[in-house]
Amino acid sequence: MGPALPEVHERRELERIAVDVAREAARLVVEERPEHLRVARTKSTATDIVTEMDQRAQDLLRDRLGRARPQDGFLGEEEGGATGGSGITWVVDPIDGTVNYLYGIAAYAVSVAAVVGDPAVPGSWAPVAGAVVNPTNGEVFHAHVAGGAWLEMPDAAPRRLELHGAPPLAQALAGTGFGYDAVRREWQARVLLHVVPQLRDIRRIGSAALDLCAVAAGTLDCYFERGLNPWDMAAAWVVVAEAGGLVTGLTGGPPDSSMVLAAPRGLHPELASLVRSAAEEAGDEPPLGQAAE
């Protein structure tokens, strides 16, 4: 048995809070972006960056969520987490697609999810509500379990996202991404070598949260990536699931950092079997941090 699902009125409330705080952080990252944006520090590798706005947006999210729901836990991409006593943890990515944000490419998102279970333990947690906001075009994707997936755009009525049918694999447009470690990127390139000839094409948009929401909206047919963290996928996972899609790991269990596969139900088995055989062909991934000279 998985962790207990909050009642519907609470899930609705969590979704509303996720939307409100994600919208506020989205305004912050656009309106207060300095003219000369600085990389504040790096994390796993020299290209895994944190800008001053990542930290400011996370601080804002943490403050707002802490005021609205002081008993909940908090896990963010940047520094500063907290365990709570309510059974709910907020899992947030203040800017998913930080490299796009740094370069001024309009494909990044604020991602806010309420999850049950321990997001630090792979396979033991699941989102119950979430919101993903694209600050550059005003799109807001949001969902709670059993409440449907919704897309709001400026000056338009909210649209329910529902996946019906799916193209055959050979006609599918797939999103994917690459990690920050050179060893991982080499492995991902080997997997791609086997995958690309079997699909219509690949897109590397640069924000996993937007990639997953694109699957929910049908602007990508499917998505796969190794190396995602809970904050990259948590909010968009519930959006895809509520749109009628499947989000899993490589062998059908919950998604985790070894693989996230997302697709409409009709396409998911074919995608899973393609990525599994490509991963076998690519061989074991060497230990990270040991790129060849």
**The only residue of 178, 187, 224, 237 in contact with ligand IPD, by rule CB under 6 A:** 178
| CB atoms inside a 10 Å sphere around CB 129 | 29
Q: Is 282 in the site for ligand IPD (CB under 6 A)?
A: no
Closer Cβ to ligand IPD, 208 or 234, answer by number: 208
**Alpha-carbon gap, residue 180 to 281, rounded angstroms:** 22
| CB atoms inside a 10 Å sphere around CB 28 | 19
Tell me the backbone φ, ψ of residue 37, rounded to 5 degrees: -70, 130
Q: Is 223 in the site for ligand IPD (CB under 6 A)?
A: no
Closer Cβ to ligand IPD, 15 or 96, answer by number: 96
In terms of C-beta density within 10 A (0-12 exposed, 13-18 middle, 19 or more buried), how is residue 197 classed? exposed
Q: Could you tell me which stretch among 62-70, 118-126, 215-223, 224-232 binds ligand IPD (CB under 6 A)?
A: 224-232
Closer Cβ to ligand IPD, 163 or 228, answer by number: 228
**The only residue of 15, 78, 93, 221 in contact with ligand IPD, by rule CB under 6 A:** 93
Q: Among residues 49, 119, 36, which one has the least CA distance to residue 78?
A: 49
Minimum gap (Å) between residue 160 Cβ and ligand IPD? 25
**The only residue of 179, 245, 255, 264 in contact with ligand IPD, by rule CB under 6 A:** 179
Strand spans (E) along the chain? 39-42, 49-51, 73-76, 88-96, 109-116, 126-134, 139-144, 149-152, 159-161, 173-175, 201-203, 222-225, 245-248, 260-264
Q: Is 139 in the site for ligand IPD (CB under 6 A)?
A: no
Q: Among residues 114, 155, 140, 82, which one has the least CA distance to residue 238?
A: 114
Q: Is 134 in the site for ligand IPD (CB under 6 A)?
A: no
Site string for ligand IPD, 62-91 (x = CB under 6 A): ---------------x--------------
209 touches 216 (CB < 8 A): no
Q: Could you tell me which stretch among 25-33, 171-179, 236-244, 273-281 binds ligand IPD (CB under 6 A)?
A: 171-179
Q: Could you tell me which stretch among 3-11, 190-198, 227-235, 266-274 binds ligand IPD (CB under 6 A)?
A: 227-235
| Structure token pair of residue 270 | 């074919």
Interface ranges with ligand IPD (CB under 6 A): 77, 93, 96-98, 177-179, 206-208, 225, 227-228, 232
